Amino acid sequence: MNIFDKIVNSYQKKQPFVVYRKPESIDFAGFFQKNDTLYFLDDTSKSGFIFAPFNASNKTIFFSSEKTDFISEKLHFTSLENSDYNFVENSIQKENHIKIVQNAIDEISKGTFKKVVISRKEAIKLKGFNLVEVFQKLLQNYPTAFVYVWFHPKVGLWLGATPETLLKIENSDFETMSLAGTQVANDLQHAVWQQKELIEQGLVTSFIQNQLKNLSSDLETSPIETIKAGNLFHLRTKVSGKLNLEKSALKDLIEALHPTPAVCGLPRNESKKFILENENYDREFYTGFLGELNLNNYDSDVKKSMLYVNLRCMKIIETTANLFIGGGITKDSNPEKEWQETVSKSKTMKLVL
């Protein structure tokens, strides 16, 4: 039984699992839980897979290495055609989103915050849903993303293809990134970024540097680069360093980073308050994070954690796919253009449904 068969089998039996492929890899991995108990993370020194919500006051779900079967394998599959999706603009959603974005710009003008990330949820009716096929299309379309399918009968079914790393840790060495700015991918050599996107990227990078300076040493920041994620370009800056070796160091590092200005805003508390009061829906695990926690490589004593921000994702509820999309708002934002950016981002998921 290969890993795709295990997905079908576990989903039909309503048993929790996660299967994923890291960026630019052909290796698949999966945790398949042996019961349907909902476990929460209470200690960041444990080993397994975590699924954390946007709102850090809510609990992080944990698939423990001790309570799951772990599978890793190389797997190839037949190429699949993308869906012929009819992109119809929802005028009511557009009006609501533009109104919230304008409210955010007004608050920025008052000095309430410098940046805030405004998102929306879009419900897509499904005409027949094949879980493995949708997962395989995500894998095929987004080779540079962290692609996953996650399921727990007491929580739901989630799929995603995220371009953003929250944190990579190998013993005390760590790497994170700031990711901001979006444009439709055309010619990489001639990608031109406006001042709005460059300022937004700078805010995210500065936040990360300030958050990490007291938790780490040897902090280094790479030059800004343009990367491609599916049909979009983004700006990326890598930040790396050495973690101060204390028992709570990993926990402190995660709390310092999440949520970053790339998914929340700056200052963090003020922008998060605006999000919770104005978005008019629960993000749940969208803009949370997920990934491997303290895994050993075979016989090695080296512990690695690989955590990704949960972007470009969807939650499947019976015959409906709920898509989650958003964008960063600054003083130079244009509400109409921000709406169009969410439309471009939504195509990541719509093309595979």
Which domains does the chain carry?
A: 3-350 (3.60.120.10)
Q: What is the pLDDT of residue 291?
A: 98
Is it the case that residue 85 has pLDDT exceeding 80?
A: no
Q: What is the pLDDT of residue 184?
A: 78
Q: Which amino acid is at 294?
A: N
Is it the case that residue 57 has pLDDT exceeding 80?
A: yes
Block residue for tokens 């929306």 = 120
Average pLDDT of the residues in 7-17: 97
**Distances from the Cα of 132 to the Cαs of 34, 54, 77, 307, in angstroms?**
21, 26, 11, 23
| Four-residue CA torsion sign, 107, 103, 284, 230 | negative
Average pLDDT of the residues in 24-50: 94
**Model pTM?**
0.91
In tens, the pLDDT along 99-151 reads: 999 999 999 999 999 999 999 999 999 988 999 999 999 999 999 999 999 99
Q: Residue 81: pLDDT band by 50, 70, 90 thresholds?
A: confident
- Of 80-94, 99-113, 165-179, the least confident: 80-94
Q: b/e for 135-145, b at 16 or more Cβ within 10 A? A: bbbbbbbbeeb
